[in-house]
Structure 1
Amino acid sequence: MSQTDRIKIAKRIVQELKQGQVVNLGVGIPTLIPDYLGEKKLVLQSENGLLGMGPTPSAEEVNMDLISASKEPITMEIGASLFDSSNSFAMIRGGHIDVAVLGVLQVDQTGEIANWAVPGQTILGVGGAMDLVAGANEIIVATVHTSKNGEPKLVKELTFPSSGIRKADLVVSEHAVFKFEEGTMKLVEILSDVTIEQLKELTGAEFEYNSEIANT
């Protein structure tokens, strides 16, 4: 996965976020979002205990006591607050997060997410995935289209453990944007130079699309 692809995904997700929303940023691609907000003002939450996360610091400003959920250095906006994990998860479980932007291992064609365990590999901990899936008002998935092994991450059925029965609302990859409506995966936008047929080959899930998108 190139950094260019990661940035493209983060920038496209910014277009979906609305002024003033409280947005939780998960591990990986989501933590790039603060650097590409432009004039859009959001309240960014990190599950390790920060409300009011700012953009990536310069090399001179790095303080490794101030990190994101990805353990990367961050800054704090004016008025930001720090708190412990119990308060952070009370905020998440209490329905106070407008949008959770999550990285994933897999998403199935109904929007169900797997993002915390790979069968046969050591599990370091579930983290906040299950709480965020259950507690956030909207779920946006940020993911590259295929795994390091070239396997689709958008699949018909999950083969990894589910993160919860709540479904994603939107998926953004380097190739496309998909939304989920009544258990159906629908192509919203193509973001690269792939054709519909190539996108189908890269995508393990079945999805609907209209003729207007197919002809772009």
Structure 2
Amino acid sequence: MLSQTERIKIAKRVVKELSDGEVVNLGVGIPTLIPDYLGDKKVYLQSENGLLGMGPTPDKENINMDLISASKKPITMNIGASLFDSSDSFAMIRGGHVDMAVLGALQVDQHGEIANWAVPGKTILGVGGAMDLVAGARRIVIASMHLAKDGQPKLVKELTLPSSGVRKADLLVTEHAVFRFTDRGTELIEILSDMSVDELRKITGVEFKYSEEKIIT
């Protein structure tokens, strides 16, 4: 199981991909840690349940469970934030007004197609905004543990779980590495742990390319 330290490491690495002025949607799971690690970044965090301008996690004395993230965790609102209903939230997403979506994933294939909403044979609570975000966001970054709970790679050659849409992710950030997706397949661009490339290959379900001169360690 991924430790909280590793989850935070993933969130902090995703923050490096954010640019000032962007509207960024945060999905369920690891992405909801991002508001606590933005530092000086000036981005507008959007939650599909109807908030633009999400702030960091409140302290225990200031928790208001009427103000929650997509993960149903308590949040705060930054100065100038706005609340609106879900139809407006999805109009924003479907209208192409979200610069980046940071999502979790059950699986990601070698070209960046995502499965993140259902496991066959298990209770399905609903797709939520996954399909809309995959289709509507200008850039998609996946923040996920490298292996599933059963020890199988999440980065796979072909999806075996239901796809969230044909649109592909741009980047995958795990506790071990950062991968970029291209028409030619998966490219390793950064190693985030003390693993060697050969060790990383053993726990990754796809063949990936990399350049020794360009890879960041």
Above 0.5 in TM-score?
A: yes
Q: 1:119-198 alignment to 2 at 5 Å? A: 119-198=120-199
Distance in 1, Cα, partners of 2:29 & 2:206: 23
- TM-score (normalizing by structure 2): 0.97
> How many positions carry a matched residue from both structures?
216
Percent identical among aligned pairs is 73
Please name the residue that 2:54 is paired with. Answer: 53
- Give the Cα–Cα distance (whole angstroms) in 2 for the partners of residues 60 and 91 of structure 1: 33
SS in 2 for 1:89: helix
Q: Is the 8 A contact 2:103 2:140 kept in 1?
A: yes
Give the match's secondary structure for 2:187: strand
- Structure 1 window deviating more from structure 2 (124-133 vs 177-186): it is 177-186
Work out the CA distance in 1 between the residues paired with 2:50 and 2:196.
42
Judge conservation of contact 1:11–1:36 (CA < 8 Å) in 2: yes
Deviates more, 1:78-87 or 1:180-189: 180-189
* Equivalence for 2:39: 38
Inter-partner Cα distance in structure 1 for 2:189 and 2:80: 37
Partner of 2:7: 6
Hey, what does 1:81 align to over in structure 2?
82
Q: Deviations over 1:150-191 (max 9, x none)?
A: 110000000000000000000000000001122411001000
Q: Look up the match of 1:108.
A: 109
Distance 1:101 1:211 in 2: 28
The separation in 1 between residues aligned to 2:194 and 2:167, in whole angstroms, is 32
2:95 maps to a residue whose letter is G
In the alignment, is the contact (CA less than 8 A) between 2:115 and 2:159 conserved in 1?
A: yes
Residue in 2 aligned with 1:72? 73
Tell me the TM-score normalized by structure 1: 0.98
- Helix, strand or coil for the counterpart of 2:213? helix
Q: CA RMSD in A?
A: 1.2
What is the DSSP-based 3-state SS (H/G/I as helix, E as strand, rest coil) of the residue aligned with 1:52? strand
Give the ranges of 4+ consecutive aligned residues of structure 1 lying more than 6 Å apart after TM superposition: none
8 Å CA contact 2:10–2:175 kept in 1: the answer is yes
Unpaired runs of 5+ residues, structure 2, are none
In the TM superposition, residue 115 of structure 1 has moved relative to its aligned partner by 0.1
Q: CA deviation at 1:109?
A: 0.4
- Residues 87 and 199 (structure 1), Cα distance of their counterparts in 2 relative to 1, 3 Å cut: same
Residues 140 and 113 (structure 1), Cα distance of their counterparts in 2 relative to 1, 3 Å cut: same
Structure 1 CA distance for aligned equivalents of residues 64 and 190 of structure 2: 39
Q: d(CA) in 1 for partners of 2:212 and 2:9?
A: 25
Contact 1:143/1:172 (8 A) holds in 2: yes
Cα distance change of structure 1 residues 147 and 66 upon mapping to structure 2, 3 Å threshold? same
Contact 1:196 1:214 in 2 (8 A): no
Cα offset, 1:214, TM superposition: 7.1
Deviations 1:101-142 (A, max 9, x none): 000000000100000000111111000000000000000000
Distance 2:58 2:200 in 1: 37
The 2-side partners of 1:142 and 1:214 are apart by 19
2:158 and 2:56 map into 1 onto residues whose CA distance is: 36
Aligned counterparts of 1:12 and 1:140: Cα–Cα separation in 2: 11
